[in-house]
A and B are shown apart, each in its own frame.
Chain A
Amino acid sequence: MDQLARAAALLGAGIAMGIGALGPGIGEGFVAGKACEGIARAPEHASLITRTMLVGQAVSESTGIYSLVIALLLIFST
């Protein structure tokens, strides 16, 4: 029974990281796409746009990192 629970945790780790990477990946790509548009239209504000893009992506990344943490916890601490 103990092994069954551990097996469920391992499967859960895979599913958590897999689905958890969906959102951040699409979201960050969306941010960067809009930043490309913005910089093309207003190249004089390139540094400002790049900074905003990176901050936005970092915040968007956080849920991906949560998934990674949960996946690692499920692999190593169960």
Chain B
Amino acid sequence: MIFTMETIQIAAFLGAALSVGIASITCGMGVGYIASAASYGIMRQPDSHDKLFRAMFIGQAVTETGGIFSLVIALLLMFGGFDVVEGGWFRFAALLSAGIAVGLGSLGPVTGAGYAGGQACHAISRMPRQSNSILGYMLIGQALAQTSSIFALLVSLLLLYSTPLQDSIPNLTAGHILLRSVAYIGAGLAIGIGTIGPGVGIGNVAGKGCRMIGKFPRQKSHIMRTMFLGAAVSQSTAIYALVVSFLLIFSVK
């Protein structure tokens, strides 16, 4: 197949569309869940509306991070100067895969962070006097959940900027080109799908932790410890996916 300017543009635009398109699914759901929890909380505790509004706004901002990562990658794909023919099929695969990685990669973390934020709003409406400490735990939990979307962003940026161009390697056979291009797609799929589980799981931990701090504020230290331990173990599968992605990007020759 003849490689032209249009071929590389197809990859860049398709990658950009997949990146923001997939990410928006759960971004909207997560942010909406926080708003619904805050609205319900204000119905129960109209006097604490300022605390609930603050928690909702901060929680939504952190949840939106995954969507912003996707937007950044989409803008880079469209306007980052990647529409040159030199890269060949390597660049075609890397651009497409960068979009898939960050799009799928923000599905789970954003869902998780949204759940954590919503549960924190429920907890604040139950116990408004604890709002500051609940807010702190919510932020920590959401940050833990978003870690895996940062893994996806990292892989996506690596695919964009540190994969070799096809013309820089002499004596490439068609088989080698196919091999590396498919490995880049595989790397994007591994980290993209691989972060969904850990993101949702850690969000569940953080949400339950926030809710329980609202119910039993005196057990803070116990809950905090369990939350950290559980989140760390849950993160391990995202790290496996990151390792496999790195291997696929860097060790396939």
Contacts and interface: CB of A to CB of B under 8 A. Distances in A.
Contact of B233 (A21, A34, A43, A54): A54
Contacts, number: 200
Given A25-B200, A28-B201, A71-B190, A35 B244 contact: no
Of the candidates A10, A27, A72, the one having the most CB atoms from chain B within 10 angstroms of its own CB is A10
Interface string B206-237: 01110111011001001101110111011011
Interface residues of B, number: 63
B193 A29 contact: no
B96 interface: no
A54 B187 CA distance: 30
B61 interface: no
Interface residues of A, number: 51
A53 to B, nearest CB: 6
Given A29-B198, A57-B233, A75-B251, A21 B241 contact: yes
Contacts of B204: 26, 29-30, 32-33
Closest 6 CB pairs of A and B: A29-B201, A32-B230, A25-B197, A14-B186, A3-B175, A18-B193
Interface of B: 108, 112, 173-176, 178-179, 181-183, 185-205, 207-209, 211-213, 215-216, 219, 222-223, 225-227, 229-231, 233-234, 236-238, 240-241, 243-245, 247-248, 251-252
Interface of A: 2-4, 6-8, 10-15, 17-37, 39-41, 43, 46, 49-50, 53-54, 57, 61, 64-65, 67-68, 71-72, 75
